[in-house]
Amino acid sequence: MGNNLTRKILKTHLVKGEMEVGKPISIKIDHTLTQDATGTMAYLEFETLGLNRVKAERATSYADHNMLQADFKNQDDHKYLRSIAKKYGIYYSRPGNGICHQVNLERFDVPGKTLIGSDSHTPTGGGMGMIAIGAGGLDVTLAMAGQPYSIKMPEIVNIHLTGKLQPFVGAKDVALYLLSKYGVKGGRGKVFEYTGEGLKTLNVPQRATITNMGTEMGLTTSIFPSDKITLEYLKKQGREKDWINLGADSEASYDETVDVDLSKIEPMVAKPHSPGNIAPISEVEGQTVDQVIVGSCTNSSYSDIVTVAKMLEGKKVAVHISAGLLPGSRQILAQLSEEGWIKSFVKAGVRILESACGPCIGMGFAPGSDEISVRTFNRNFLGRCGTKSASVYLTSPEVAAACMLTGKLTDPRKLGIKPFKVKLPKKFIIDDSMIIPPLPIEEAQKVKIVKGPNIKPLPLKDALSDKLVGEVLIKVGDDITTDHIMPAGAQILPFRSNIPEISKFVFRVLDEKFYDRAMEKKGGFIVGGENYGQGSSREHAAIAPSYLGIKAVVVKSFSRIHLANLINFGIVPLEFKNKADYDTIDQDDGLEIDVANLNEQPIKMKNLTKGKEYELIHTLTTNQVAILKEGGKLQFVKKHNKGE
C-alpha cells in the first residue's frame, strides 16, 4: 500500500512520535511566516530567547494588516518589525507589497516543504503542495528558534475531484460547498488532500483559494499535489528551480474518501454570521446589497480580479452600490495596470484600495448601519466588518461581480455574459524590491532594535497552583470565535504589542463589562460550548485573558489553534466529561478545580455556589501538562531549553 502526499511530507520531517491518528508527533519546520498583527508579539517573544539569528531555513515577516496609520502606533510597529528582520535574518515584506499569503504563494512557497505561520490562513500554501499550518505566534517563534512543531497526527481525507467547474462558478464555490457538508468544526483533526482528474482544471491560485478556506472547517491543513500545473505557475514566477514532482502514490490509502464532481457545484454564499452558514445563491437571490468588495487572501489573485474586470467591462456598478477592489499583491496590481484591467474597474465606478488585508479584518471600508455587504473574504463573524448591525455575505468573485452590476444578490450565470476563460500571464512582472532580504550576520549584529512607546513587554503567568478558585466571569455558547474573545478592527489592532491596553477589549462584542468584572474579581473562569476559539490564530485571545487572570476555560470542545494558545500562555483548557453539565453552571458561580494531578483524569470541579460536583477531561499530553505547570510555554522552554 502506497503513501498519500500528506504522510510523505510528514514522514520526511518527522522528529518525534508515531504517525498514528490522534498520537502526538513533532515535525521539523522549514519556513515560518508572520504578519504585523501577530508578528510584533511573536518577535517580542523571540527576543527573550537570547538567539542572534533565526534557525529556520527561511523566515518571512509581512506588514499587511495594520496599515491604517491614524497615529504613530502602527508605523512604530512596522519600524520594530523591520529592525527585527534586519537583526535576526528574516525577509521583510514592506507595507504595500501585498497580503502575506498571496505574496508567499508568489515568491516563497516551495512544494514539499513545511511552513507554519502566525495567521490561521497559512494553509493557503497547500495550493503549492506544502504542509502549511496556521499556529499561534509563540509556536512560530519557537520554530524560528529551530524547535520542532507538535501536533496530533491528523486523519487524511481524500477529496477526489472529477469534472470541471461550470462557467461563472469559482474555486470559492468549491470551498463553500465543502463547508456546507462539514460546517465550521467538521474538519477538526483532519487534513484534506485533493486528488483526481479534476485537479487538471484548477490553476495554483484556484487551489490556494480552496486550501485557504479549509481553515474555516477547522482543518489542520489542506494540500494539493505538486504537478505540471504547479510547475507552470512557478515558471511564470521565475522560480521553476523550486519545483519537484510530488503527489500521492497510485495505491495510496486514506482514512476517508469524498467524491466531488466539480461540474455539479453551483454558486454558493455564506450567510451572516458564519462561514458555515451556507446556502445556494438561489435561496437568497434578489436580496438588495449595499456594498461589494473583491479581495482578501482568499480571492485577490490575478485570475480572480481579471474575471471580475471582464464581467464589468463596459458596464457601471449599480448606483446605490459602494464597490471596492483589493489586489492581493503589488505584483498583481502591477500586472493589472500593465494590461489595462484597472481601467475597467475605474470606469465601472469601483474604488481601488491598497494591496493589504484591509476590510477583511475591519480595517476600513466598513458598511453602514444595517447594510448588507457582499465580500469575497473568508470570514463574516458578527461585527468583524466594523459595523455590528451589518450583515456580511461571503461569495465568489463571480457572484460579487454580479452583485455589483445588479445591486442584488444575483446568480452570475443569469447575467447573459458570454462564458470566457482567464489565462494567467506568460510571465508575471517580477519586482522584489519591496522585500528586504536578510543581512549578513556580521552586519545584523550591529542593528539596533527600534521600539516605540506603545510596545510593552510580554506579561508572563506564574506557575500553576494545585487548586484554582474563582468565579465564572462569562458563560458563552457554541462556535465562539477569537473575534468574539479578542476583536480585530481599526480601534483595537494597534494595541497588539500592548497587552494591558488590548485586554480592555476582551469579549467586548459580547459583554462590554467583561474587562471591569475581570479586574474587580482578579480573574476567574470562562465557561463555553462546542468549538470554543474557532477562527483566527491570534494568540492575543489567550494572552489578554491570561493577563486578566483567567485560570481555566471549561467548555464542551475546543478549536485546535486556540487550545494550543491557551496552553502556551498558562490557561488550563478543560472539557466537560458530561456535556449536559454545561447547562447547570451560570455566570458568577464560584468554582474550585483541583489541578494538582493534571495527568490523571477525570479532573474534579466543584460548584461552590450550587453545591454540585463535576468531572472534567482534557486532551493534554504529558509535555503540555508540564508546560502548564510552569505557567506557559515560554517559561517552560527557557527553563528546560526545549520546545517540543
Query: Residue 643: is its pLDDT beyond 60?
Result: no
Domains and CATH numbers, the chain: 5-264 (3.30.499.10), 268-414 (3.30.499.10), 467-635 (3.20.19.10)
Q: Is 488 helix (H, G, I), strand (E, B) or coil?
A: coil
DSSP 510: T
Q: How far apart are CA 361 and CA 66, in angstroms?
A: 9
Check the CA dihedral 369-370-374-378 and report its sign.
positive
Q: How far is CA 571 from CA 153, 243, 547, in A?
A: 23, 42, 10
235: part of which helix (H) or strand (E)?
A: helix 228-236
pLDDT by residue (tens digit) across 584-614?
999 999 999 999 999 999 999 999 999 999 9
pLDDT by residue (tens digit) across 381-401?
999 999 999 999 999 999 999
pTM over 0.85: yes
DSSP 10: H
Q: What is the largest CA-CA distance in the chain?
A: 72
pLDDT confidence tier of residue 491, bands split at 50, 70 and 90: confident
Count of C-beta atoms within a 10 Å radius of residue 200: 11
Give pLDDT, residue 269. Answer: 98
How large is the average pLDDT for residues 516-536?
Answer: 96
Give pLDDT, residue 264. Answer: 98
pLDDT by residue (tens digit) across 133-189?
999 999 999 999 999 999 999 999 999 999 999 999 999 999 999 999 999 999 999
Cell 537570547, residue?
50
Closest CA to 13 of 25, 24, 1, 28: 28
Cell 502575506, residue?
100
Nearest 10 degrees: Cα torsion 381, 385, 389, 394: -60
Closest CA to 464 of 603, 567, 574, 564: 567
Helical spans, DSSP H, in 30-120: 36-47, 72-88, 100-107
Nearest 10 degrees: Cα torsion 513, 515, 518, 524: 100
Query: Residue 575: is its pLDDT beyond 70?
Result: yes
Closest CA to 437 of 108, 100, 188: 108
Closest CA to 636 of 621, 614, 616: 621
Is residue 528 within 8 Å of residue 487, measured between CB atoms? Answer: no
Between CA 477 and CA 520, with CA 530 as vertex, the angle to 5 degrees is 50
Q: How far apart are CA 274 and CA 381, in angstroms?
A: 6
Count of C-beta atoms within a 10 Å radius of residue 250: 6
Query: Residue 640: is its pLDDT beyond 90?
Result: no
Q: How far is CA 277 from CA 139, 191, 269, 373, 391, in A?
A: 31, 21, 8, 15, 12
pLDDT confidence tier of residue 220, bands split at 50, 70 and 90: very high
Q: 40-73 burial, b if ≥16 CB within 10 A, otherwise e?
A: bbbbbbbbebeeebbebebbbbbbbbbbbeeeeb
Check the CA dihedral 347-351-354-359 and report its sign.
negative
Give pLDDT, residue 644. Answer: 43
Give pLDDT, residue 458. Answer: 87
Q: Count CA atoms within 13 Å of residue 2 on its CB side.
A: 8
DSSP 422: P
Query: Residue 641: is its pLDDT beyond 80?
Result: no
Give pLDDT, residue 97. Answer: 98
Give pLDDT, residue 2. Answer: 84
Closest CA to 163 of 77, 96, 69, 263: 263
